[in-house]
Amino acid sequence: RLRALNRLQVILQHLKMSKQTDSTAEVLLEKKGGAGIITLNRPKALNALNLSMIQQIYPQIKTWEQDPETFLIIIKGTGGKAFCAGGDIRAITEAGKVGDKMSQDFFRGEYRLNNAIGTCKKPYVALIDGITMGGGVGVSVHGHFRVATEKTVFAMPETAIGLFPDVGGGYFLPRLSGKIGYYLALTGCRLKGRDVLKVGIATHFVESEKLPALEKDLIALKSPSKEKIEDLLNSYHMKCTIDQEKEFVLGEHMEKINSLFSANSMEEIVKKLKQDGSPFAMKQLETISKMSPTSLKLTLRQLREGASMSLQEVLRMEYRLSQACMKGHDFYEGVRAVLIDKDQSPKWKPAALEEVSDEFVDNCFKPLGNDDLKL
């Protein structure tokens, strides 16, 4: 009977492993050589993160972190188009509308995962090939190494859907040089390829078609230190000549970005843009006027406060904001206009920056008592 039981355990163990490497699974978790490999596997959804993926990745990172035989963690996406285009916004919207606790569980799980990556003791290498937005930024930017390619498209476009650049955006965006993080957060501006490296989101730049070879070399490293991993990434980075001569797309505008986006309030930023009157300023004004006024105010304060906070403090603050957005109007309206009906004409409430009171903004930042995020 004992033998039968043992056999059953072996079979179950085998099934568990094969489930994880089953090609239909939404996330694949494998161990190859000294590397733990996370593969986001929802190519049709551009590898957007859903709650079940988050709940599988988090404990696996924690396990690998404790495992003496795991020397690094690699995360990548399948399908060739996206690393990860964000979170499963539609599911959150549906849940939030009916007051389902999934709208709490999702953010709580996602931010805990962001924190696990930000505090991970094992070198963490994100291969951000293709679209990397929102939740995809959250599972890459807090790790040690982010490898961009000529196909990388980075953006934090949340103000357009009545949300704010979360997943630790309040931590990493204000730490980028000058006021570029504020600019990216408020306008949702997209950066491509080498520009993602130049702005400091990526640490390395490698040709997209060289990634399989890079991954193979990373897996082959024998009990590597963080320095050894960095040396390998550097060697690939140095050999890559794509777009080497290209100027940084925002280079000529940096002076303007730094002065225009350094104001203390959204109203002041808008005033500065109008006064400046240059084609660049007018274009930013047009973009900002389409965003949720509530989101803009929450985002500016989120970044200003996050600039001097730890990642943990930022994620706690962002969890409070996420729950405020779930109770509000603009998130559902933004998702409707951008993702569901796709008419691109959201009716924001309130419709003007002046109508979003300081008192309202203050309330969104208030602690949630027992419901606060625990890290």
pLDDT in single tens digits along all 375 residues of the chain: 667 666 666 666 666 554 455 668 999 999 999 999 999 999 999 999 999 999 999 999 999 999 999 999 999 999 999 999 999 999 999 999 999 999 999 999 999 999 999 999 999 999 999 999 999 999 999 999 999 999 999 999 999 999 999 999 999 999 999 999 999 999 999 999 999 999 999 999 999 999 999 999 999 999 999 999 999 999 999 999 999 999 999 999 999 999 999 999 999 999 999 999 999 999 999 999 999 999 999 999 999 999 999 999 999 999 999 999 999 999 999 999 999 999 999 999 999 999 999 999 999 999 999 999 999
pLDDT value at residue 368:
98
Q: Which residues are catalytic?
A: 87, 135, 158, 166
DSSP-assigned states of every residue in 238-252: HH--TTTTPPPTTGG
User: Which of 13, 34, 162, 111 is closest to 313 using CA atoms?
Assistant: 111
CB neighbours (10 Å) of residue 71? 23
State the pLDDT at residue 316: 98
Tell me the three state secondary structure of residue 156: coil
Q: What are the residue boundaries of the structural domains of the chain, listed by start?
A: 24-371
Going along the chain, which residue ranges are E strands? 27-32, 35-40, 72-77, 82-84, 124-128, 131-133, 145-148, 153-155, 191-192, 204-205
- Architecture field, domain 24-371: Alpha-Beta Complex (3.90)
Q: How far apart are CA 137 and CA 169, in angstroms?
A: 9
Q: Which two tokens stand for residue 100?
A: 């389902």
Predicted local confidence at residue 13, as pLDDT: 63
Closest CA to 312 of 372, 363, 233, 271: 372
**171 CB-near residues (< 8 Å, 6+ apart):** 118, 142, 306, 309, 310, 311, 314, 315
Give buried/exposed letters for 167-187 (b at 16+ CB in 10 A, else e).
bbbbbbbbebeebbbbbbbbb
What does the alpha-carbon distance between residue 47 and residue 126 come to, in Å, rounded to a whole number?
A: 14
**Residue 357 CB contacts under 8 Å (≥ 6 apart), including other chains:** none
Q: What is the pLDDT of residue 24?
A: 84
Q: And the tokens for 29?
A: 């978790």
Q: What is the pLDDT of residue 17?
A: 54
What's residue 59's pLDDT? 98
In degrees and rounded to multiples of 5, residue 12 shows phi and psi of -60, -45
